[in-house]
Amino acid sequence: MIKFKPLIALIFILSFISCDNINTTRIIRLGHGLSTSHSVHKGMVYFGEKLEEISGGKLKVQIYPSQQLGTERQCLELLQIGSLDMTKVSAGVLENFSPSIKVFGIPYIFRDKKHTFRVLDGPIGDELLAGTEKYWLKGLGYYDSGSRSFYTIDKPIDKPNDLEGLKIRVMESQTAIDMVKSFGGSPTPISWGELYTSLQQGVVDGAENNPPSFYLSRHYEVCKYYIIDEHTVLPDVVLMSTHIWKTLSVQEQKWIQEAMDLSVIEQRRLWLESEQESLEAVKAAGVQVSYPDKSAFAEMSRSVAEQYAQDPLIKSFIDKIKNTQ
């Protein structure tokens, strides 16, 4: 059962108002969990600007950042019942709603960033987005969320065995749980908004995420070791409620998709800048950043791919991704 905050209740009511009676401008409400300083949020702001421009002011975007409308999972649930128009979630959370998305959580499935984008921007990425529609979620595009790596409070990680027995925060993602277990760690699901306090109080020994998230969340104030093992690449996925999508005209749908495609290009540019700036900032703050031999991590986590390959649906996507040149 969804626990609605007062603001969510307001959005629930307003979502049924399809247009402004004064200027016939339709407001698209977009909720997400990141701060306004994050490149993903800036990408969505750009999306809003482009959508207003392309539509001649007929469509505008109103953004609710920083979990104002709830966690990523709650925002997806709001989309499913049509009380929120759009959201951005990690593929790790989306896999709980659309099973085929689990393929993104398999460690080291992508060879490099070019390979990642060829998959996301090609037929495989389109097929995975289309697969969300049966769950009342219309996939619009993939934002860059880089690679995820481990960071810990007071113990450096040089090899997979160093994670043995450590409590590592993960998203509500079975693939993330299985990945941490493959290294001997103890996966502990905790919401993003509660993670700083959990690290500070020693509830967990560390977590895993990309450089901008590590920096902008200020987790570097508690965790002094960041190991760039890049175990998974989980894109951020922008989605719209199918309930809302179906109320739009064909022209409005085209405007939204065009604006989203443009914002993907801009967000990925912003991401590259943010990634480098974040690594430099955490190093300046005293964090020990190291680059281990990834092959050891890839080898130890191979069991995760073997486990998920037992599912014919996931195996088909694993094979398609591996065969993408």
Q: Please check whether residues 74 and 180 belong to one and the same domain.
A: no
- Confirm whether 109 is domain-assigned: no
Q: Please check whether residues 39 and 80 belong to one and the same domain.
A: yes
CB 175 within 8 A of CB 92: yes
- Confirm whether 99 is domain-assigned: no
CA dist., res. 240 & res. 244, Å (int)? 7
Number of domains in the chain: 2
* Closest C-alpha among 66, 61, 69 to residue 5: 69
Tell me what pLDDT residue 20 has: 42
- Here the tokens at position 322 are 């591996």
Q: Which domain holds residue 43?
A: 6-90+116-143+236-273
φ, ψ at 55 (rounded to 5°):
-85, 0
Q: Please check whether residues 196 and 309 belong to one and the same domain.
A: yes
DSSP string computed for 140-177: EEEE----EEEEESS----SGGGGTT-EEEE-S-HHHH
Mean pLDDT by 10 residues, the chain (325 residues): 52 47 81 94 98 98 96 97 97 97 98 97 98 98 97 95 97 96 97 95 98 96 98 98 98 98 98 96 98 96 97 97 95
Which residues fall within 8 angstroms of residue 241, CB to CB, at 6 or more apart?
A: 78, 79, 80, 82, 84, 85, 86, 136, 137, 138
Q: Please check whether residues 45 and 174 belong to one and the same domain.
A: no
List the CATH number of the domain containing 302: 3.40.190.170
